[in-house]
Amino acid sequence: MTRNISIKRVINILMNKDADETEDNKGRKVRKNEKREPMKPRTKNTELKELQDSELLYVPLSQHIGSPAIPVVEIGDYVKKYEKIGESSGVISANIHSPVSGDIADIVEHSLPNGNKVKTVIIANDFQNKQEKLVKRELNDLKLIKKEEIFSIIKEAGIVGLGGAQFPTHVKYDIKFRKVDTLIINGAECEPYLTSDYSVMKNHTKEIINGLKVIQKLLNPKEVVIGIEEENRELVEVVEEMGRKEKFQIKVKLLPTIYPQGSELQLINTVTGIKVRKGELPLEKGVVVSNVSTVKAIYDAFFEGKPLIERVVTISGEEARNIGNYRIKFGTPLYHIVKQLKITNEEKVIFGGPMMGIEVFDSRVPVIKGTSGILFLSTEEIERNNCISCGYCVEACPMNLMPFEFADYYEKGKYEKMVKANIQNCIECGACEFVCPSRVPLMESIKTGKAVLSEMGENR
């Protein structure tokens, strides 16, 4: 018996739209998804809220791809809100700023959500909210300001990609003499549960449009397109109307609600028809992609003079209480969020989405620049079986890979063959493992395999 499982089916199951039993190639029923109330619409329809500040904030000096920031404060120093506490180092790095005013209680090695330990500044909040003086600007300032000054503003603000990549934005926008045909704004939040970008688009439409004016000055793209998923089509009129009001030309592209539509390569292909291979830079094809929350951060930096110290985070999951979208400061520990929202079940906590997010086990792990969501999920016992060669993972893979090969090569220690099977093209979306009826640990094979290969390369 053969059965096709599409990416659309994957997302439907994850979003609780489709609840039946899956069969393997022998017709055996191997998994059942019970009917549950969809979580995404519930957080979409909530008002954006503010989370009360924590007494202690654990602010990592590495919240970005590249070199960690260098601390510019010492234990015992007093810092104001927005004050720089970490200076970028190297070509690819980002500044870090204090989210509150207070004393530097300690500088220690502390865990990030991914488990890595990095130098972290612990700030004892004095709740006085004393601020560094901010330099505010008007739209008219865009006419006179030089590009170099805008780069400096973005760099000083510590802005990185807030869609998950956390790549320093001032580096990404340094296009030299290359031309940009299409600037794509990523509003496709394809992971289940997460609606933080939706909340930003809904509540800060004007700021996004004016933030795009700043980016337009830098990149001078031929066209600006914002991608919005079909299920969020109510935002189309909102964005188009604000574009007309603010006299900014922007196209809205409705995207199919499929997973992983928000991935950069899939998004570029859907919007432009251009295929960018894994490892190629979109800029080589005349395309630059930025997340909507990144654009909002650029608005804050240019017009309000605010560095990046907080973001909108979706709190959701079957075990969560008071779910919704919250503005949360970087460095806020998980235990504070649990206490404030009166969450009683912390057995399975995911930072990010259920597909590409990371399970955390330390309640002191902080919210960082790349934290788009925190999910409190019910646990389930997973029985792992051998691959039955059903091919579901192959069909589910958006990069046209054969994930079952990675598991086989990993188990046998044939890491070089993983390279020949193009493991470097895997975007780690998790679709393969989700559809696998045997629950083969495909993502463990892929992630660990990549790490081993990286280490082998470094030791050569």
pLDDT tens by residue, 406-436: 888 888 889 889 999 999 888 888 888 888 8
Beta bridge partners of 291: 186
Residue segments in the chain with a per-residue pLDDT below the cut of 50: 1-11, 13-36, 458-460
> Any alpha helices (H) in 125-263, and if so which ranges?
141-144, 147-156, 169-172, 196-203, 205-219, 234-245
Read off the tokens for 60.
């990592």
- The pLDDT value given to residue 395: 85
Instruction: Provide the 3-class DSSP secondary structure of residue 85.
Output: strand
- The pLDDT value given to residue 17: 43
Residues annotated within a binding site: 387, 390, 393, 397, 426, 429, 432, 436
319 Cβ neighbours under 8 A, 6+ residues apart: 343, 344, 345, 346, 347, 348, 376, 377, 378
**Is 132 buried (19+), middle (13-18) or exposed (0-12) by CB count in 10 A?**
middle
Cβ count near 381 (within 10 Å):
4
Edge-to-edge strands, sheet with 56-60: 56-60, 117-125, 102-111, 78-79
Torsion of CA 142, 250, 205, 294, to 10 degrees: -70
- The pLDDT value given to residue 381: 62
Instruction: Tell me the pairing of strands 96-97 and 84-87.
Output: antiparallel
Peptide bond into 260 cis (omega under 30): yes
- The pLDDT value given to residue 30: 40
Q: Cβ distance 198 to 229 under 8 Å?
A: no
- The pLDDT value given to residue 425: 87
Q: Cβ distance 421 to 402 under 8 Å?
A: yes
- The pLDDT value given to residue 22: 45
Instruction: Give Dmax (Cα) for the chain.
Output: 69
Read off the tokens for 170.
């001032």
- The pLDDT value given to residue 385: 79
Residue with tokens 């990371």: 358
Q: End-to-end distance of the chain based on CA atoms, in angstroms?
A: 47
Instruction: Provide the 3-class DSSP secondary structure of residue 420.
Output: helix
Q: Cβ distance 191 to 356 under 8 Å?
A: yes
Topology given in CATH for the domain delimited by 139-304: Rossmann fold (3.40.50)
Give the integer Cα–Cα distance in Å for 448 and 143. 50
- The pLDDT value given to residue 9: 47
- For 78-164, where are the E strands, in sequence order? 78-79, 84-87, 96-97, 102-111, 117-125
Give the integer Cα–Cα distance in Å for 341 and 332. 13
Residues annotated within a binding site for [4Fe-4S] cluster: 387, 390, 393, 397, 426, 429, 432, 436
Q: Cβ distance 399 to 223 under 8 Å?
A: no
Q: Cβ distance 305 to 238 under 8 Å?
A: no
Q: Cβ distance 35 to 19 under 8 Å?
A: yes
pTM: 0.85
| CATH 3.40.50.11540 domain span(s) along the chain | 139-304
Instruction: Provide the 3-class DSSP secondary structure of residue 98.
Output: coil
